[in-house]
Structure 1
């Protein structure tokens, strides 16, 4: 984890700025496992924002 890598497959990765969306996903029961909130200034990679890619497809 210190190296910025996580072997687990979380159901969603959210930037801290998007914490409201993380709460919405959790409360709506849309998260199918653990969710991760990233607390960094580095913008997340596209793979880290998988939850938004899924929403845009629907």
Structure 2
């Protein structure tokens, strides 16, 4: 697991918290912020996943 994967998951969690707080307090801005954080976290985690896959692939193809 690399730092992009960890940060991505962390951002998703923060986003879910913000979304939940926004819904509970009827604050659409906070809810939207949470949705955006979750989306950004998913992108960052996917980037980290791709980096890990490339690293693993390079290891297995090395002579």
Band the TM-score falls in, shorter-chain normalisation: under 0.3
- TM-score, normalised to structure 1, is 0.23
As a proportion of its length, which structure holds more strand? Answer: 1
- TM-score, normalised to structure 2, is 0.21
Larger Rg: 2
